[in-house]
Amino acid sequence: MTLDSERLRLGRRRLFQHVEPVAHESDPCAAFDEEAPRLPGTNLFVDSRGRLWLCNADGLLRIENPDDETVRVRHYSAEDGLDRHALTLVEDLNGRMFLGTLNGIVQFEPDQRLARHYTTSDGLPSSNVLTAVRDGRGDLWF
């Protein structure tokens, strides 16, 4: 589930339900196209460009057009430098994505296909990063 300034998005198995917060009305479910992996997700996130991201056990899904009836999905995985088991996601003020995983934090810049890994050897207190949030000043908290 994620909430942005316009709507609430609820995810469930290959479908997303859009709920208007003020009107309490819901749009029809948007279905994944047939290319989308059939993996359950652990976290939904809407980035600054309005794209919907889904963390899952096999990496990360980016939904380019979450408000369309049939959505386009891009799957990022180990081939893109990501760890398996993406658990949480946050975006910094420069548009870089940071994933919390079972192996630390991955700084991910999908347009440049760059991934940098941070682990306990870089000073993290634990390898398991379960939550991530950006505060009002733009600082990231894990």
- Residue-wise DSSP of 85-115: -EEEEEE-TTS-EEEEETTEEEEEETTTTEE
Model confidence over 46-58: pLDDT tens digits? 899 888 888 888 8
Please tell me whether residue 43 adopts helix, strand or coil conformation.
strand
pLDDT score recorded for residue 88: 92
Check residues 100 and 12 and name the one with the higher pLDDT: 100
Mean pLDDT of 55-70: 82
State how far the Cα of 122 lies from the Cα of 125, in Å rounded to an integer: 9
Mean pLDDT of 48-70: 83
Half-sphere exposure for 16 (CA within 13 Å, toward CB)? 28
Helix (H) or strand (E) holding 64: none
Report the 10 Å Cβ neighbour count for 78.
Answer: 11
Q: Judging by beta carbons within 10 Å of its beta carbon (0-12, 13-18, 19+), is residue 106 exposed, middle or buried?
A: buried
Give the global pTM: 0.71
Mean pLDDT of 106-134: 92
Candidate from 29-33, 65-69, 116-120, 128-132 with smallest mean pLDDT: 29-33
pLDDT score recorded for residue 40: 54
Check residues 100 and 28 and name the one with the higher pLDDT: 100
